[in-house]
Amino acid sequence: MSRGRRKSTAKVSLGYLEMDIMPIVWRHGLVTVKEVFEELYPSRKLAYTTIMTVMRRLAHKGILEVDDSVVPFVYQPKVGSQELAAAVVDEVVDRLLEGSSAPLVLHYLEHGKISSAEQGKIKTLLRGRVKTE
């Protein structure tokens, strides 16, 4: 059945500030600490060095990649948003829901905002599904 191992991104655990920074990085693709700092500043009055510390930690975790051959350093994401979100959420699903994602899916279908386009994708997926169980 090859339900295979928890794939690549193992041992994922992110703090809230780390999570808040990631979307900015994804939007930019290549980004400096300063750019993240300035984009985040209006909503979160954090020190520049705070952002730097956190971005360094993200790099240390393998979630960001740093090019330190130029100054200021240029950061870029090593994993995509869906991949990372799925990895983080998997930890929760595995623990709280003991692996069954269905309740969560139902929850979001009921309460989340899903565009028509996405509903279409879902229907298509459902048609072609192999019923696992």
Q: Which one of its own copies, DNA, none is in contact with 56 (Cβ closer than 5 to 8 A by kind)?
A: DNA
Q: Which is nearer to its own copies, 72 or 92 (CB)?
A: 92
**Taking phi first (over 0 means left), then psi (-120 to 50 degrees means alpha), and beta for anything else, what does residue 38 get?**
alpha
Sign of dihedral through CA atoms 40, 111, 121, 9? positive
Q: Indicate which single residue of 30, 49, 89, 92 sits in contact with DNA (rule: CB under 7 A).
A: 49
How near is the Cβ of 86 to DNA at its closest, in Å? Answer: 17
Is residue 28 a contact residue for DNA (CB under 7 A)? no
Query: How many CA atoms, within 13 angstroms, populate the side-chain half-sphere of residue 52?
Result: 6
Strand partners, 64: 77
89-118: which residues touch DNA (CB under 7 A)? none
Q: What are phi and psi of 76, to 5 degrees?
A: -150, 155
- Residues near its own copies, by CB under 8 A: 3, 13-14, 16, 19-20, 22-23, 81-82, 84-86, 88-89, 91-93, 95-116, 118-119, 121-123, 125-126, 129, 131-133
Q: Which stretch binds DNA (CB under 7 A): 67-75, 81-89, 107-115, 120-128?
A: 67-75
Query: Contact at 8 Å (CB) between 35 and 50?
Result: no
Residues 6+ apart with CB under 8 A from 41: none
Q: Which residues make up the interface to DNA (CB under 7 A)?
A: 13-19, 32-34, 44-50, 52-54, 56-57, 61, 68, 71-73
